[in-house]
Amino acid sequence: MKRIFLISSVLLIACSLSVLSANKNKWKPLFGTNLSDANYNPEVWSEKDGVLGAIKDESIWTTTEYENFELDLEFKTDEATNSGVVVYCTDTKNWIPNSVEIQIADDHSEHFKNAKPYEKCGAIYGHLGANKDKVVKKPGEWNHMHIKCEGQHITVTLNGQKVTEMDMSKWTSGTTNPDGTKIPSWLPKPFAELPTKGFIGLQGKHGNSLIWFRNTKIRSL
C-alpha cells in the first residue's frame, strides 16, 4: 500500500511539474489584458479594437523583465515611420544606451532611401544591418515580426524571412562594429557587456509619422 501511495505521489508531482512547464512556455499578451502589465502614459498610448498606437514620441514598457524569450507581433507603418522594439532594457528612463533596439522603419520612403543598413527595418539599430532590403511592406499594410532572444543571441524574422541574426558577444567595442562601421556616439556601451535580461518596450510616434501594433505576445524559452 505504501508503495502504491509513493508511486502515486511521484506521478502527481511529475504531472504538476509538467503543467507548470507548459504554462511557463505558453504565449501570453506582452502587456497583459487591457495593458494591465504595461508601464506607459495613458495620454500618449491607447488600445482600440486590439490595435495599439501612440500620439507622441514616448515608449511603452513591460512591467516585467524578460530573458530567454520569443516575442511575436504585428506592426503597420505610416509614411516615413521610424520606430522600434526594445529588448534587454535595464533603465527605461535612459533606455537608448542601456538596451538593444530592433528597428522598425518605412524603407520605401525617401527618408530612408540613403539610410545606413543598420537604420533599416529589421536591423539591430546602430550595430547590425538586415541582410535583406525592403522586406517590410508599404505603409498601411500589416507586417509580422518575430524576435527570438536567447542570451546574447538575437534572431529577427520579418514577414517570414530571417533578416537579422546577432551574437552580441562579438560586439566588444562601443565605437566600432565588427564589420568596421562606426557605432552612433549615443550607443557607447559594448553589446558584449550588456545584460541579457530587461524590460521590453515599443517606441511611439517620431516626427509626423505614426506606428501601430497588434497581437503582441511573448513566451519564455
For residue 19, what pLDDT is reported? 46
User: Which has more pLDDT, 134 or 21?
Assistant: 134
Distance CA 71, CA 29 (A): 10
Distance CA 109, CA 63 (A): 34
User: Which has more pLDDT, 149 or 8?
Assistant: 149
For residue 133, what pLDDT is reported? 87
The x, y and z cell numbers of residue 105, run together, are 522603419
User: Which has more pLDDT, 77 or 20?
Assistant: 77
Examine residue 207 and state whether it is found in any structural domain, yes or no. Answer: yes
When mean pLDDT is compared across 4-18, 44-58, 76-90, the lowest value belongs to 4-18
Q: Which domain holds residue 93?
A: 43-220
57-106 residue pLDDT tens: 999 999 999 999 999 999 999 999 999 999 999 999 999 999 999 999 99
For residue 207, what pLDDT is reported? 87
Examine residue 180 and state whether it is found in any structural domain, yes or no. Answer: yes
Cell 501570453 maps to which residue? Answer: 28
**Exposure of 76 in the CB half-sphere (CA atoms within 13 A):** 12
Examine residue 174 and state whether it is found in any structural domain, yes or no. Answer: yes
Residue 209's contacts (CB-CB under 8 Å, 6 or more residues apart) are 77, 78, 79, 80, 81, 82, 106
Average pLDDT for 195-202: 98
For residue 113, what pLDDT is reported? 86
pLDDT at 116 over 60: yes
Average pLDDT for 13-31: 68
Name which of 80, 44, 40, 42 is nearest 60 in CA terms. 40
**3-class state of residue 159 by DSSP:** coil
Examine residue 108 and state whether it is found in any structural domain, yes or no. Answer: yes
Examine residue 48 and state whether it is found in any structural domain, yes or no. Answer: yes
Examine residue 22 and state whether it is found in any structural domain, yes or no. Answer: no
For residue 5, what pLDDT is reported? 52
Residue 3: pLDDT band by 50, 70, 90 thresholds? low
- CATH number of the domain residue 50 falls in: 2.60.120.560
Residue 24: pLDDT band by 50, 70, 90 thresholds? low
Average pLDDT for 108-136: 94
Domain count along the chain: 1
Q: What is the mean pLDDT of the chain?
A: 92
Residue 20: pLDDT band by 50, 70, 90 thresholds? very low
Identify the H or E element spanning 3. Answer: helix 2-24
Residue 195: pLDDT band by 50, 70, 90 thresholds? very high
- Cα→Cα distances 167→14, 112, 124, 128, 156, Å: 36, 26, 11, 10, 12
Examine residue 24 and state whether it is found in any structural domain, yes or no. Answer: no
% the chain with pLDDT above 90 = 85
Examine residue 50 and state whether it is found in any structural domain, yes or no. Answer: yes
